[in-house]
Amino acid sequence: MEDQDQQDGGENPQHAAQSPQHAAQSALTLGAIPGATPDKWVSRWRERYPDFRLSVDYYDDAGQLARLQHGTADVGYVRLREGEPDLDKDQFSRVLLYREEPVVCAAQDHWIAAAEESVTWEEIAEEPFLEPAAMTPGQEPDPHEPLAGGELARAERIALEVVASGAGLLILPNSVARMLSRKDIVIRRVEDIPGYEVGLGWLKEKDSDLIQEFIGVARGRKPGSGRSAITPAATGAPKGSGKGSAKNTGAKSGTTSRTSQQKPRGKSSGPARSGRRPSSPKARRRR
């Protein structure tokens, strides 16, 4: 992610006027969804702010806004189809992370497999399509209960089994299709239809320094940024120090520690060398 601090447009007035309760928050829960890969952000957070616990729970797409409203997650991935109504701006804040292409999943022997990279909507519009929600009627998981990897996107997994039989096609976000990929399924990009917008959302009334700092990390904010509401100093370490700091490692100045320059002792695999450079025959004649 590129650093987008310059695009934030100044401090958020609502954020600046937080209550003491929000300022004192010491733990954060991220609600992830199928296809999301927050590992890099989580690693950065835990390295910079070990005193502020960050936990990640996975859920299906459906019910994400309800989880944010009920406090099941403090901040969460929100995937919306382009052109669909946005979040209620009176209740939620959202930052866009990336746009995702729609893909079609088909049986390996379907004619779509002959397409190298993509098909147009016009070419497949008359085909039968499957709706994942119809695959598991009345079997939706508890929206507030985290899911294990094998339980994620259960309806989509069942739909793909039907697709593999040749009974229909399935439109999915690219990351979800890749996560659920099977040898008997082909995946092709679909042109001329809306894609998906993926962002991070949170409840405005629960905005906090911790949420704002996590958003900054997700958008590429560097350690020690002047816009950081929480700094390594909050964990007992001075700003600019800590694990991975250039000042700690000498990476910024290009210096190397004396210990790392020492050669290992013991048997050498090559001929022994003295500390004096041998003289050439010409030099010996001059003597």
Question: Is residue 129's pLDDT more than 50?
Answer: yes
pLDDT in tens, 160-199: 999 999 999 999 999 999 999 999 999 999 999 999 999 9
Which letter does DSSP use for residue 136 in this model?
Answer: S
Q: What is the per-residue pLDDT for 281?
A: 41
- 3-state percent helix, strand, coil for the chain, nearest multiple of 5: 30, 20, 50
The more confident residue out of 238 and 40 is 40
> Is residue 210 packed enough to be buried (19+ CB in 10 Å), middle (13-18) or exposed (0-12)?
buried
pLDDT in tens, 86-126: 899 999 999 999 999 999 999 999 999 999 999 999 999 99
Q: What is the per-residue pLDDT for 232?
A: 58
Whether 198 contacts 97, CB under 8 Å: yes
Residue 125 φ/ψ, nearest 5 degrees: -60, -30
All structural domains of the chain: 5-100+196-235 (3.40.190.10), 102-191 (3.40.190.10)
> b/e string for 12-22 if b means 16 or more Cβ within 10 A?
eeebeebeeeb
